[in-house]
Amino acid sequence: MERWYEVVKNQWEVAHAKETSRGPNPLLVFFSSLYGLGLKLRFFSYRGMRKRSLPGFVVSIGNLTVGGTGKTPAARMLAEWASEQGHRVAVLSRGYGGTYKKKTLEVSDGNKILALPEEAGDEPYLLAKNLKSVPVILSKKRFRAGMLAHKKYETNFYVLDDGFQHLLLKRNLDLVLMDASNPFGNKKLLPGGPLREPVDHLTRADAFMLTRSGMDASAEKTVALLKAKFPGRPVFHSDHLPESIVLPRKDETHSPEFLKGKRVIAFAGIAAPERFREMIIELGAEPVYFKAFGDHHTYRNVEILKLITQKESLKADCLLTTEKDWFRMEGPLNEYPDLGYLTVRLSLLSDENRFFQFIKEKIGADGVLK
């Protein structure tokens, strides 16, 4: 079933990259109907299965659409907070895009990195790099990863990365992220649209977090829609904020203001690369050339060399990419001294105290952390 989803997701990414204004592709509409039928069969087959329970508090960070909502920064934020509260935290992930074949893979033990980016996938590796004292463990069966964390690290607080569609593990809190201005895309299922499940399935969610939310009119419309369709579930607002500019080969880390007035060659292989371009423009940089690659793109030597040639011919100040992209480049690919990356963090807007109080109340109500 997981492999089936990956194939359909890849079809959507190809179709999305070639999207035109001529209306829906009839073939994609047909395959969306097949995907919907597959979903119904999947949920029906899981209905009689017993869900497994982990010894502790389980919170799922998930979404309803393909990529781009900021699950990785949200998982990092929540894991850091729970660790500061004194809970013994682990992040559990499937490891999308990773090449590992084992039943479980420890990406980090909380102190050191134990796996390569290509083994783990870029997002789990990024979490492992940024989280201190928090193990990151991968398994296609998240229960198995959780039990390893409990036995080895006495974990009692589990952050389930990209867990909304993982139906066989009980969780104490399902938090669903969505883009504030465009939460459901064209409202069509894969591959005709970005939806992994129908919108009505959000009845399984306990709370919503709007990402890239500036509290503008579009965000308010999304809030109104969620409150009307799914009453009683809190809605929180967050945004992705630039954190630092890192030039690893120069051993330099700068504030985001470093980009002001700089001529930049930028590139990204993430779900929404245009947002990366918008962010560096907002920081005052001039992207004299921008190259978008597919999500989770693995870079080849020739691609980076072409970008270096562009940088030198256009007399740009630096080459810039995202932190996730950086870890998909190895050896000579990332040796160029003017090649760096932008780190971002997820920040709750006016809802920070309310959000963490909501988590505390859920922990207290469930009584699983003594």
| 224 & 105 share domain | yes
* Same domain for 80 and 121: yes
Residue-number span of the structural domain to which 357 is assigned: 57-239+348-366
Please count the structural domains in the chain.
Answer: 2
Cβ–Cβ under 8 Å, residues 159 and 79? yes
CATH code assigned at 291: 3.40.50
Q: Does residue 10 belong to any structural domain of this protein?
A: no
Quick one: 84 and 208 in the same domain?
yes
DSSP string, 78-96: HHHHHHHTT--EEEEE--T
DSSP letters for 207-271: EEEEES----HHHHHHHHHHHHHSTT--EEEEEEEEEEEEEGGGTEEE-GGGGTT-EEEEEE-SS
pTM to 2 decimal places = 0.92
120 plus 247 within the same structural domain: no
Same domain, residue pair 339 and 358: no
What is the pLDDT tens value at each position of the chain, 370 positions in all? 455 555 555 555 545 544 444 556 888 889 999 999 999 999 999 988 889 999 999 999 999 999 778 999 999 999 999 999 999 999 999 998 899 999 999 999 999 999 999 999 999 999 999 999 999 999 999 999 999 999 999 999 999 999 999 999 999 999 999 999 899 999 999 999 999 999 999 999 999 999 988 756 788 889 999 999 999 999 999 999 999 999 999 999 999 999 999 999 999 999 889 999 999 999 999 999 999 999 989 999 999 999 999 999 999 999 999 999 998 987 778 889 999 999 999 999 988 999 999 999 999 998 888 6
Between helix 71-84 and helix 352-366 the angle, nearest 10°, is 70
Of the candidates 72, 78, 59, 82, which has an alpha carbon nearest to the alpha carbon of residue 107? 72
| Same-domain status, 206 and 257 | no
109 found inside a domain: yes
Residue 34 lies in a domain: no
172 and 207 belong to one structural domain: yes
Same domain (yes/no): 225, 333: no
Pair (83, 140) in one structural domain: yes
**Does residue 212 sit in the same domain as residue 63?**
yes
Domain with residue 191: its CATH number is 3.40.50.300
Q: Are residues 212 and 255 in the same domain?
A: no
Alpha-carbon span 349 to 186, nearest angstrom:
27
Q: Quick one: 258 and 303 in the same domain? A: yes
